[in-house]
Amino acid sequence: MHFGATLRLMRLESGLGLRELAGRLGVSSAYLSRVENGLDAAPTPTRLEAMARELRVPSTLLMDLAQRVSPLVMDYVESVPEAGSLFLQLAHRELDAEQLAEVQAFVESRFPVRRRAASAFEGLADLLTPERVVVGLACSSLDDALDVAAGRLGREVPGGASKVAAALRGREGEVSSAIGSGVAIPCAYVPGVKLSAALVVLSPGLRAPTPDGAPLEVVVAFVGPRDSAERRIALAHVARLASRGLALDLRRSRSPAQVLTRLAQLETLR
């Protein structure tokens, strides 16, 4: 997953221009452009927190995407030294994602968090049905995949698939939805429609311009209103899944049911 490409999509989803966001953050537009194009490293945790506020997404999502440690964690370790010892034990044991998920499940069961997230978004699997998942699509261009996704999403949109396809293509013409790691996240703006998604697994992978040069293997298309914090969070969530091997995991699926099962398993590790 390419952090800069994901940041660009989230910025545009927020309706912010490059100069506007740079001004709000107190940085130059040239610097922000270099970050979005992958020429500079991801910003510091403090700056990522400021970005999250401007983009109206949880800071933990940006920290995770940028592979940065939140200042909250550092402050906690400083105030509770035993926490640092626990983190060190986990590191020495080199627990993998599934083992960490077991630890996380225990912590959430024994010490549940009472606060709920502001967004209604719970997970990508909850936005999908078998009818909105396509497996093994062979296509010659991303437009073909967008048309197929639009066909699944258009059933619940006034104007149907043609309206969704036009919106997806129009947005793609403004900014590439490819974020690397074999994943693209195209979005269509349709007023008055609640957030929904379609997922297409390509086989073989599609050779197309991507931030990291990897072929496209998974297209997750969203449709919904223009200014939606829920969709920005969903976009960041898919980017996080991409960084954790979403394309590699889903390309092994042979049916929509298998895709949904694998996706639900992957989301338990978030």
Does residue 91 or residue 75 have the better pLDDT? 91
Strand partners, 250: none
Other beta carbons within 10 Å of 16 = 16
Across-strand partners of 200? 134, 219
**Distance in angstroms (rounded) separating the CA atoms of residues 220 and 123:** 13
pLDDT tens-digit map of 205-220: 999 999 999 999 999 9
Give dist(CA 204, CA 230) in Å, integer.
Answer: 31
Grouping H, G, I as helix, E, B as strand and the rest as coil, residue 215 is coil
Task: Kindly give, in sequence order, each residue whose CB lies less than 8 Å from that of residue 183, ignoring residues fewer than 6 positions away.
Answer: 1, 216, 217, 218, 219, 220, 238, 239, 241, 242, 246, 247
The CA distance from 61 to 59, in Å, is: 5
Distance of CA 80 to the CA centre of its chain: 32
The three-class DSSP label of residue 25 is helix
Q: Where are the alpha helices (DSSP H) in 2-134?
A: 3-13, 18-25, 29-36, 45-55, 59-66, 71-79, 81-93, 97-110
Q: Name the DSSP class of 22.
A: H
Phi, psi of 197 (to 5 degrees): -145, 155
Give the tens place of pLDDT for each residue, 33-59: 999 999 998 899 889 999 999 998 888
- Distance CA(133)–CA(148), nearest Å, equals 10
- Asked if 169 contacts 243 with a C-beta cutoff of 8 angstroms, the reply is no
pLDDT the model gives residue 121? 73
All domains of the chain, ordered by start, with CATH? 124-267 (3.40.930.10)
Measured in residues, the chain has a length of 270
pLDDT digits (tens, 9 = 90+) for 140-198: 999 999 999 999 998 878 789 999 999 999 999 999 999 999 999 999 888 888 899 99
Res. 13 pLDDT band, cuts 50 70 90: confident
The average confidence (pLDDT) of the chain is 88
Q: Residue written as tokens 């036009």? A: 166
Question: Given this model, what pLDDT does residue 269 score?
Answer: 61
Question: 79-138, pLDDT tens digit by residue?
Answer: 888 888 888 888 888 888 778 878 878 887 888 865 544 456 778 988 999 999 999 999
Q: Is the pLDDT of residue 21 over 70?
A: yes
What are the respective helix, strand and coil percentages of the chain, to the nearest 5?
Answer: 55, 10, 30
Q: HSE (CB half, 13 Å, CA atoms) of 163? A: 14
